Structures are given as structure tokens and as C-alpha cells.
Amino acid sequence: MILLMAIAGSAGGCSLFKPNFSPAQSAYLDKAVAAPLQFTVSEKDLPDAWRRAQDFVEKNSKLRMVRSDEHNIETEQPSPDGFDFGYEIHNTPAGRGEVRIVVNVISNGRGYWTNTANRATRNAHLLAYYIKTGELDSSLLDQ
């Protein structure tokens, strides 16, 4: 049964992420959802990218940021009985003048088969895309 649900969910592709969006929003969302949650930026672009990561979490996370330094950004943990989700973002040297950034969503697991999981995944990709490109359509967040 779980396998069938996974196959059915994957067969729908990104449609799970785009309930009632305009064509422009859908086009943006397609690019953002295709963005990997692990990527590299150049060392010279890291300060701007890292500021975007901090700004996104401060403005768009329902959970309070509890750590923000030159390598890590983390929100508080979700409550055991809630459906909120938070973020962990890390950067590490990747060599050749590049830095690897990793975006993770943190949750309590309650919303795994719910719309919460779709929202968390969509927001993580929007965050990763924003960190990398500086482009954000905030109307698509947490819907």
C-alpha cells in the first residue's frame, strides 16, 4: 500500500506542489523545485548567499532561529504534536574556490503523509533556489 502511494505521488510530478498557481508562479516553481537542496556557490558569492539564507529563515520560518553563524543556520525543533517545520542550513568548503551549501527541513514526522510535507519540501526548494540565485516569489511560501 505504501509503495502504491509513493508511486501515485511520484507519478503526479510537481502537480502536488502547484494547486492553484498562475502560469508565472508555476514556471517559477518548476525552476525552484528542480533546484537541488545541496549546491555550491563561489567563495566570493558566499556572503550574499548566506545573508539571503539568514533573511529567509528570519522572515519566513514559523520557528525561531536558534543558531546563526558563519557555517550554520538552525531553527528551533518543531513541537512533538505540531505540524510546523524548520530549517537547518550548513556550508562547508568544497575546494577550488567553492563552498557547498546544504538545506534541510526539520520536522517531527507527524506531517509525513500530509500537506505539511508538501509545504515543507516546496519551501526548502524555494529557500535553496533563493540562496543560490537571489530570486524569490514569496507568494508561493507555506501555502
Q: What is the pLDDT of residue 106?
A: 86
pLDDT in tens, 44-59: 999 999 999 999 999 9
pTM assigned to the model = 0.81
Q: What is the pLDDT of residue 114?
A: 62
**Lowest model confidence (mean pLDDT) among 28-32, 102-106, 120-124:** 120-124
pLDDT in tens, 66-93: 999 999 999 998 887 777 889 999 999 9
Q: What is the pLDDT of residue 1?
A: 35
Calpha distance 104→102 (Å, rounded) = 7
Calpha distance 55→83 (Å, rounded) = 22
- In this predicted structure, the answer to whether residue 11 has a pLDDT above a threshold of 60 is no
User: 94 CB contacts (<8 Å, ≥6 apart)?
Assistant: 40, 100
Kindly give the interhelix angle for 23-34 and 115-133, rounded to the nearest 10 degrees.
Answer: 80
- In this predicted structure, the answer to whether residue 43 has a pLDDT above a threshold of 90 is yes
Q: What is the pLDDT of residue 111?
A: 52
- In this predicted structure, the answer to whether residue 133 has a pLDDT above a threshold of 80 is yes
